[in-house]
Structure formats: structure tokens, C-alpha cells
Amino acid sequence: MRVALDAMGGDHAPGPIVAGAIAAVQADANVRVVLVGDQAQIEPHLAAVDANARQRLDIFHCSQVVTMEDSPVMALRKKPDSSIVRSWQLLAEKKVEAIVSAGNTGAVVAGGMRLRRFLPHVDRPGIAAILPTLQGPCVMLDVGANVYPKPAHLFQYGVMGSTFAKHVFKKDNPRIGLMNIGSEEQKGHDLAKETHLLFNGSHLRDRFVGNVEGRDINRGAADVIVCDGFVGNVIIKVCEGVFEFMMKMVGQELGGTLKQEWPQAKQALGNIVDRYDYSSHGGAPLLGVDGICIICHGASGDVAIKNALLVAAKYASLQLNQLIVAELEADPILSVATSGV
Amino acid sequence: MRVALDAMGGDHAPGPIVAGAIAAVQADANVRVVLVGDQAQIEPHLAAVDANARQRLDIFHCSQVVTMEDSPVMALRKKPDSSIVRSWQLLAEKKVEAIVSAGNTGAVVAGGMRLRRFLPHVDRPGIAAILPTLQGPCVMLDVGANVYPKPAHLFQYGVMGSTFAKHVFKKDNPRIGLMNIGSEEQKGHDLAKETHLLFNGSHLRDRFVGNVEGRDINRGAADVIVCDGFVGNVIIKVCEGVFEFMMKMVGQELGGTLKQEWPQAKQALGNIVDRYDYSSHGGAPLLGVDGICIICHGASGDVAIKNALLVAAKYASLQLNQLIVAELEADPILSVATSGV
């Protein structure tokens, strides 16, 4: 399984990015990583690697870097030899099965859009975020790729998300929910109302649980949640912010209260952070493109990068995209939906 | 200070609603509450009240109730003698200075919209939610009244929110942020981009801190956050959901770890819930209407209702609306903004 890794993307690249690649090939003997970036900056971080790992680490040299501040579309045009552009090209040329980047999210998405190699029946790719709930993980999309989706796009997200939940979470009949501001069918804006109709008229009718609200996510009201990219992006960042705030407040309150058992409490809180910290997870797949693409948080450290690489290899070996295409093809509503609802 | 209280609104009305009214008049000798609702259902809950409190509790009998399931606009039309419609009428006739309801939020807002008694220079009222941050409270609006705002509406929310932050939070120069999905000016949808321009060209320029993201809210990046009602409503419910989830997870983890100090830890967690539980707060003001209107969570108990009544009285005595109008009038951009940007 070959994965291209944007070695220059991330707040502290390339150090922790390369370290994550080393950890990934050490953890899984089937994984090969192509480090895409400036050879001179990458090589020093490979100096101490054992020979077995080293032979599954390649470097694809390129001279440019898209920064976090770059405008995505401009960056792609002006930096054709950037690690993001080159990673997508390797995927398009089938030289790798997957790509992973912790760089400028907008540029990563724009790179995929520009190649236009989407899966059949997919009009727009969407970024899928995995969120913890009381009933196991749920997948929410889109969380930032598509700020102006049509109802048909949200419907396709529902199909892709439920295929994901079925094969990655192993949930046999994933429940699909529509993010909205009330439980009643007629609630929300036109996008929500029209998407509601689309699901209710589709073969996913039985799996569609209707509207879900913000407070229902963690309760586990649905296994798949669809929403526009603006709302989804706000949601994942609010989750991050409330989590961070609450852990700080709980830590302060307990630190000021407990005495002998404070060390144990601190350890317990550390476990919670390890388990739920939204920013340290392995990354979010961009579903709907032909190939696997995992987008990581800019602050990703070596562990997050390692996890993202292993997850990318796993999705590729699960043949997730083939399963998504099969599910989309089985849907009679799609010819209507994709004609521009 | 006279406040009309929708005695029939709320998941367990009228019991805890009336109890909240009793507690409010006992707590503040300047507060009179008009209980709007079915006299026969209200009176039993007043039986044990002391004479001093009782003389500041009136009943305004009406025969109909808008349920949580009712469609807001239909309900107002079909139920002219409902507690929500009657409460608004009391406000419009200046028989009360404020109204409080834990009933169907959509119907409460629609009731205010239908009366069309907005403050001068306000095109659309907005619901303001108060959120905790590391730098004191912040106010976010709109959180559910206006799903399709124009940039001028968000600008007006910024003015109203900053007046609120100045006089209620006592923050001298409140910082105004625009909810968006990135920090750069050109990020987000057209509404965000146009609102950005409007603030930067206004007299609030120096107080405008630009885009804030979901994770910045609790960090205290702004004292006032403006957004459309769909996004705002999702945000407050996500906050509620993540809070609930985290407290459950922290409780489980600590309960399984601590021994002798578990009772103290439990107490400490209880303090956190008391302080931050988003669902038990005193309610959210609907800013921009001529009069004070506080919208409470459907699950509000007596304490939340009491707090909402006291808060309503406080805003009325602060002359919050007069201050908002003065601030709006001082703005030269408004004549442009309200002409339909």
C-alpha cells in the first residue's frame, strides 16, 4: 500500500511529519510512504532510521510549499511544484493509492477539485469528520469542502457516509441524520427541507432518521450526519473549543478540591484527553475522490500523522471507494438527484 | 417592573413556571409578574404563597396553548387566545415592560415578528445567547430567529450585541467577531464576506476583530459574535451536547478511578454543571423588539424561570433598548446598510 505524504504540510513540518511516516512503516510492514517535499529538509530526519523501515520510505523531491496563509486556488496556480500539487499528481497517476496532508486544508481540497477525478455519481467531494458519541463513533460530512451544497450533494454525502459507517465502524444499518435546528420536517432553511424530501423519497428512506440537532450528535442519534461545509466546519471547531474549555475548568475545579487522589484524577483526565481530543485524531477523509485522501489538523504531531497513514492504508485495502460506487449505483434516485435538484 | 410570564410554555408547565414566578417576586420586591395562561391550572400552584408575594402575582386568563409541536405561524393564526399571543399583546399595549416564555421558541419569535414593533433602525430581531469563555461571558447572536439574514442584519446584531456586552457585562470596548470557517478575510460564504466589509467600513471598525472560528468562542476571542440563525442555533446546541457528553465521560472515568475522594470530586463536577450547564441558564433575550423578551429553554425548571424573570427586569431597568437605539442612531453607515445591502 503506497501513500504519498505531504512532508511540508503542518505547523511544524517536516520534523513530526517525517517522524509519523517512520512510525507508520514500522507499525505496518505493508505500508510504503512517499515523502513529498524538499529533499534537503526531509533527509536529516531519516538519518537514524533502521534499514527495514528506510526501504519503505521514498522521497519525491519538489521545490515549493503552500503555506497556511496562501489563498488555496492562487497557491495551486502559482506553486505547481508544491508538495500538495505533487501529491495529488502521484495519486492521479496511480503511483500511490492514497495521500495524506496536514497542510493548508483549502489547498488540499482545491487540489482534489482541480483534478476532477471524482467517483462516478459524485458531484462534489466532502470532508468526513469522525465524532465520538455514547453509541460509538459517528461520521459527519461535509465539514469544510463544500460551502454551497445542493440537496443532491447532501444526499450523496449520506450514501458515502453510510458506506463508511458500515465498513469502517461495522454498523450494519447506519442511521442517517440531517443537521437542522429542530426535529420537525418543515424546520430550517430550503437546503434542509429539500434534502429531507430527497432522503424520504430514496432507497435510504428506512435508514433516514430525519433531523438531528446539535445536542443529538454526542448522544448518538445518528451514525451519519449530513450538513453543508460551513455548518460542519463550525461544528467540529466548536466541539474542539468546548472540549478544551471544559477540560480546563474541570482540571481547575478538581485541582482546587482534591488532595491525596489528585494525581490519579489528573491521570484520568489525561485519559479523556487522549481518547476525545478532537485535534489529535488521525485526520478526516475527503470522500468522493478517486483515491484515498486524508486531511490532518495543521497541529498534527507524529502520532496523528502515523494514525492518518495507517488509516489511509486501511481505507484503501477495504476498497472503500469501490463500495461507495456500488452503493451509489444501486440508487434509482441518483439519476434524478444528480441532474441538478 | 411588570413582566408577563407565559405560564403555559415549557415541558412541565405550569408547575415549575409558576414556582419560578413566586421565587422571582420573593427575590425582588420591585418585580410584578403577570401569569398568562389557564387560570384553573395556575391557581392551585399559588395556594401556599405568602400574601406579600401573592399581591405581586397577577393572572391573565387565556384559553389556548401553543404546543412544542405546533407550527409557529399556524399556531399564532389558529390560537389567538394562546398564552404566547396574549403575552405579546400585553407588551405591545405597554401593560408590561417585558415578557418571558419557555414555550415554542419559533412561535415566541414569530409572535414578536408579527407585531412588527421593532426598535428604530432594526430590520430583524435576533436571539442572543450568553456563552462562557476564559475571558468572561460573550454574547452570540442570532441563535435562531433569522435563518436568512442579510449582511446589514448581522451588522445590526453587532451593534446590539456590543451595547449588551457594554452594559450587561460591563465591558468598555467589546470586541466584535464574525463567525466564520477560517481567519482570513476572504474565507467563507458571501454573507460572511459582505458582513466583513460592512464592519470594516463602519464606526465599529476598531472593535471588529474579524473572523472567529468555532474553537475561538470559549477561548474568549470576542465579546460579541455575530452569525446567521441557523449556524448560531447549531452552535448553542452543540455546546450543550459536548458539555453533557464530556461531563458524563469525566464522571465515569473519575468514578472508576478515585476512592476516598470520589465524593469531593462528584461535588466539584456538580459545581461545574451548575456554572456552565447551557440548558439551565436564565434564557436568551430576543434583541431588537420594542420591549424586553426573554426566551427560555423548554426544559427550564423553577430556578431558570426565576433567573429569566429577574434578568428581564434588570434589562428593562437598565434601559437596554434605549441604549441600543442610541448606539444605532450614532452610526452613519446604517442609512446605507438598512437600505438593503
ipTM for the predicted complex: 0.92
Asked whether the beta carbons of residue A238 and residue B244 sit closer than 8 angstroms, the reply is no
Question: Residues B173-189: what's their mean pLDDT?
Answer: 89
pLDDT score, position A65: 96
Is the distance from CB of A9 to CB of A101 less than 8 angstroms?
A: yes
* Interface size, chain A vs chain B, as Cβ–Cβ contacts under 8 Å: 184
pLDDT score, position A340: 44
Angle, helices A15-27 vs A302-318, to 10°: value is 50
Per-residue pLDDT tens over the stretch B1-10: 999 999 999 9
Rounded to whole angstroms, the Cα distance separating B328 from B23 reads 36
Rounded to whole angstroms, the Cα distance separating B286 from B108 reads 9
Which of A148, A241, A243 is nearest residue B219 as measured by Cβ atoms? A241
Which residues between 238 and 257 in chain A have a beta carbon less than 8 angstroms from any beta carbon of chain B?
238-250, 253-254, 256-257
And the C-alpha cell for B267?
461535588
Per-residue pLDDT tens over the stretch B269-288: 999 988 886 556 678 999 99
Per-residue pLDDT tens over the stretch B280-309: 667 899 999 999 999 998 889 999 999 999
* Residue B12: alpha-carbon gap to chain centroid: 20
Which of A147, A240, A244 is nearest residue B188 as measured by Cβ atoms? A147
Phi, psi of B156, rounded to the nearest 5 degrees: -65, -35
Residue A69: exposure state from Cβ atoms within 10 A (0-12, 13-18, ≥19): exposed
Question: What SS3 state is found at B130?
Answer: strand
Rounded to whole angstroms, the Cα distance separating B264 from A222 reads 35
Query: Which residues on neighbouring strands pair with residue A294, listed in sequence order?
Result: A100, A285
Asked whether the beta carbons of residue B214 and residue A237 sit closer than 8 angstroms, the reply is yes
Is the distance from CB of B81 to CB of B87 less than 8 angstroms?
A: no
The DSSP element (H or E) to which B293 belongs, if any, is strand B292-295
And the C-alpha cell for B303?
430556578
Rounded to whole angstroms, the Cα distance separating B237 from A179 reads 11
Question: Residues B128-144: what's their mean pLDDT?
Answer: 95
Rounded to whole angstroms, the Cα distance separating A317 from A340 reads 33
pLDDT score, position B239: 94
Which residues between 203 and 242 in chain B have a beta carbon less than 8 angstroms from any beta carbon of chain A?
213-219, 229-231, 233-242
Strands (E), chain A: 2-6, 32-37, 57-61, 98-101, 126-131, 138-141, 176-179, 208-212, 224-226, 284-287, 292-295
Q: Which residues of A213-225 are buried (b: 16+ CB within 10 A; e: fewer)?
A: bbbbbbbbbbbbb
Asked whether the beta carbons of residue A218 and residue B241 sit closer than 8 angstroms, the reply is yes
Rounded to whole angstroms, the Cα distance separating B318 from A340 reads 53
And the C-alpha cell for B268?
466539584
Question: Residues B182-204: what's their mean pLDDT?
Answer: 88
Task: Tell me which of B66, B140, B181 to substitute to probe the interface with A (most A C-beta atoms closer than 10 Å).
Answer: B181
Q: In angstroms, what separates the C-alpha of A264 from chain B's closest C-alpha?
A: 7
A133 part of contact set with chain B, CB < 8 Å: yes
Which residues between 282 and 311 in chain A have a beta carbon less than 8 angstroms from any beta carbon of chain B?
none
pTM of the model: 0.93
Is the distance from CB of B266 to CB of B274 less than 8 angstroms?
A: no
Question: Residues B257-276: what's their mean pLDDT?
Answer: 91
pLDDT score, position B1: 92
Chain A hits for B248, Cβ within 8 Å = 134
Confidence of residue B329 (pLDDT cuts 50, 70, 90): confident
Question: Residues B260-274: what's their mean pLDDT?
Answer: 92
Rounded to whole angstroms, the Cα distance separating A267 from A244 reads 16
And the C-alpha cell for B134?
476564559
Q: In chain B, what are the domains? A: 2-122+288-323 (3.40.718.10), 126-277 (3.40.718.10)
In tens digits, chain A (341 residues) has pLDDT values of 999 999 999 999 999 999 999 999 999 999 999 999 999 999 999 999 999 999 999 999 999 999 988 888 889 999 999 999 999 999 999 999 999 999 999 999 999 988 878 999 999 999 999 999 999 999 999 999 999 999 999 999 999 999 999 999 999 999 999 999 988 777 888 999 999 999 998 888 999 999 999 999 999 999 999 999 999 999 999 999 999 999 999 999 999 999 999 999 999 999 998 888 755 667 899 999 999 999 998 889 999 999 999 999 999 999 999 999 998 887 766 645 554 43
* Alpha-carbon distances, residue A64 vs A36, A37, A77, A110 (angstroms): 10, 8, 12, 17
Rounded to whole angstroms, the Cα distance separating B305 from A158 reads 40
SS (H, E, C) A90-134: HHHCCCCCEEEECCCHHHHHHHHHHHCCECCCCCCCEEEEEECCE
